[in-house]
Amino acid sequence: MVINVYSLSIMFSVFFLLLVIELVRKNKLQERYCLLWILMSIILLVLSSTPVIIETVSAWLDIKNPPSLLFLFGLGYLILYNLATTVTVSKQSERITRLTQEIALLRQKITDMNSK
């Protein structure tokens, strides 16, 4: 059996897909986040199993080493996913700050009511 970058990519894609499914099954990863990871692993699996697509797109983009397109695709996906995660964290941080302020105001009201 010859192991090349396509074979490694197929094995990684299958392993990653099974890992994501297992994390969802054990409630360690929410369904809304796993959809993107499952989609990514399926796309990577399809691209890895059909080198003709990779070679064609690489020729269009003038990429000399076609398997590099797999890594470029993965890197682009990770950058976009990181941006989306950062937006989510920023929104949650604002909500936590607002909730903390509301709790402080409610505690102050309770303290004022008890002191009267």
pLDDT at 56 over 60: yes
What is d(CA 59, CA 69) in angstroms, rounded to the nearest whole number?
10
What is d(CA 85, CA 43) in angstroms, rounded to the nearest whole number?
20
* Mean pLDDT value of segment 99-111: 95
Q: Can you give the length of the chain in residues?
A: 116
pLDDT given at position 1:
56
Percent of the chain residues topping a pLDDT of 70: 98
What is d(CA 43, CA 64) in angstroms, rounded to the nearest whole number?
22
Model pTM greater than 0.75? no
pLDDT at 14 over 90: yes
Indicate the pLDDT class of residue 43, thresholds 50, 70 and 90.
confident
> What pLDDT digit, counting tens, does each position of 64-95 carry?
988 888 888 889 988 998 998 899 899 999 99
pLDDT given at position 94:
96
* Mean pLDDT value of segment 105-110: 95
